[in-house]
Amino acid sequence: MSTEAAGPWGRRGQRGGGDLEAGVTYTKLNETHLRHLGAVVAPDRISTGASNLELHGRDESHHEACLPEVVVWPERKEEVAEIVRYADEHRIPVTGWGSGSSLEGNPIPVCGGVVLNFNLMNRILDIREEDFQADVEPGVVYQDLNDKLRHKGLFFPPDPGARATLGGMIANNASGTRTVRYGSTRHNVLRLQLVTAGGEIVRIGTRSSKTSSGLDLINLFVGSEGTLGLVVEATVRLVGLPAAFSAAVASLPTVEACSRAVFRIMRAGLDPAALELMSPECIVLMNRERNLGLPVSPTLFIEFHGTAESHLADVMSMARELCEEEGGTGFRSGLGRDERDRLFRARHELSEMTRREHPDRTHSTADVAVPISAYPDIMAWSRQALEEAGIPGYIFSHAGDGNLHLVFMGKTGDGEEWRRIAGIYDRLVERSLAAGGTATGEHGVGLGKRKYMEAEHGSSLAWMRRVKDLFDPKRILNPGKLLP
């Protein structure tokens, strides 16, 4: 097990038998357990090799690695059900794994046990163009799904950027650049098949676009981070590719001016398909690595979708006027698809760029979200806090839905610097909650945000624990996550 602590919030899980769930002791795998699991899948789909364990002990976050005891690659939902049923019977932890691209330690197996890697359950089972729906397995990568859908004039809207799998997106309620118009993953899932902690395969939801029948279990499971059940199949909502699009880049004098322009664009009802904000530090990196040639100032990337170019021209003219009223001097619209794709590709790669820029430092990302009316204030406070701290950092944001990413690049191993970062992080969350927002807009709770759950949810947290106990009474599913 890796013992390198990457920051102040890394937690060392014990390999097989950890106790991050109060009062719970898990079973350490022995040869009998491994033989049983090995009988469920083919020999080449189960591994206790050091390299495979290492690969499944860490995600893209700063949280410390914790190794599983075995990795299994199921191909069928029946295999998942049998493995989970056996694990529940013997109180063995089970953690689902998509692509490992999460940013809050969400899939790190902190209590050891079994990691179920869903990469081989990657089939697109059906595409029903007339219903705007697709049936997929959890290992399908959303870019691969959209590549296939493009030829049918359709796409799956959530856009988290990394090569995320559908199962991981559902577990984390992923969102991204297009959420402001099309919603997060939660808004685009119609039906699920799940394996419960007892190994039962359960179907929830409907293929109908609306229903008033029964409790909404879809919204309970989407975003539960694999703590209530494991997704083995999903029916997702598709939308038609827009007949027309228009993209623009707007340069403004300050981050605060950018955030005010965002508020005014949203209040004007212009309905952007994407509205992203980058601080000057981000623009420097993007220019250097992707040769974009953008002015180094706070910048908005804006995109609109519609049915006619004439309508989009009017909308873009209004957006230009609003930006100029906030002091914007550079508004470049009418970008072609190639230029638009180049800009948004660089936007998606920002996290990787920041890490390359600071190889001797460790990153930690805050991703609070607030009501759009509170967005200008939270942006101003974040900028000031970052400057006063004197720590390298970056601000970029899914501005249209009030989701702020504040990236700290702390000196690895410098306890004092990380304590200062933790203090800023805590105050940022406190301000966001006071404004009616959330500690995590899209990265999920995982390990890093558990300490904020009580402040955000209050007495409803006790009901979340009751739901967990109902679906997973032995607490084998992704233990140590979500609930403090």
Are 379 and 298 in the same domain? yes
Of 240, 259, 291, the position where a domain reaches its end is: 240
Nearest of 105, 101, 98 to residue 160 by alpha carbon:
101
Q: pLDDT tens string for the chain (484 positions)?
A: 222 333 333 334 444 444 566 678 999 999 999 999 999 999 999 999 999 999 999 999 889 999 999 999 999 999 999 999 999 999 999 999 999 999 999 999 999 999 999 999 999 999 999 999 999 999 999 999 999 999 999 999 998 877 899 999 999 999 999 999 999 999 999 999 999 999 999 999 999 999 999 999 999 999 999 999 999 999 999 999 999 989 999 999 999 999 999 999 999 999 999 999 999 999 999 999 999 999 999 999 999 999 888 999 999 999 999 999 999 988 999 888 888 889 999 998 998 999 999 999 999 999 999 999 999 999 999 999 988 989 999 999 999 999 999 999 999 999 999 999 999 999 999 999 999 999 999 999 999 999 999 999 999 999 999 999 999 999 999 999 999 8
Task: Supply the pTM of this predicted model.
Answer: 0.92
Q: Which residue has the tokens 């197996």?
A: 109
Total structural domains within the chain: 2
Task: Determine contact, residues 192/205, Cβ cutoff 8 Å.
Answer: yes
Structural domain that includes position 296:
242-444
Are 289 and 209 in the same domain? no
Domain assignment of residue 471, yes or no = no
Per-residue pLDDT tens digits for 391-434: 999 999 999 999 999 999 999 999 999 999 999 999 999 999 99
Domain assignment of residue 379, yes or no = yes
Are 256 and 405 in the same domain? yes
Sign of CA dihedral 71, 174, 176, 441: negative
Are 277 and 360 in the same domain? yes
Are 297 and 391 in the same domain? yes
Q: What are phi and psi of 463, to 5 degrees?
A: -70, -35
The CATH number of whichever domain residue 273 belongs to comes to 3.40.462.10
Are 280 and 387 in the same domain? yes
Per-residue pLDDT tens digits for 314-369: 999 999 999 999 999 889 998 888 888 899 999 989 989 999 999 999 999 999 99
Domain assignment of residue 119, yes or no = no
Q: Given this model, what pLDDT does residue 162 score?
A: 74
Domain assignment of residue 385, yes or no = yes
Write the DSSP symbol of residue 26.
Answer: P
Contacts 24+ apart (CB under 8 A), 281-288: 281/393, 281/394, 281/395, 282/350, 282/394, 282/395, 282/396, 285/350, 285/353, 285/354, 285/357, 285/394, 286/346, 286/347, 286/350, 286/353
Q: How far apart are CA 159 and CA 172, in angstroms?
A: 13
Q: Given this model, what pLDDT does residue 335 score?
A: 83
Domain assignment of residue 305, yes or no = yes
Domain assignment of residue 20, yes or no = no
Are 219 and 263 in the same domain? no
Q: How far apart are CA 264 and CA 458, in angstroms?
A: 33
Q: Given this model, what pLDDT does residue 415 score?
A: 92
Domain assignment of residue 35, yes or no = no
Strand, coil or helix: 266 = helix
Kindly give the pairing relationship between strand 189-195 and strand 201-205: antiparallel
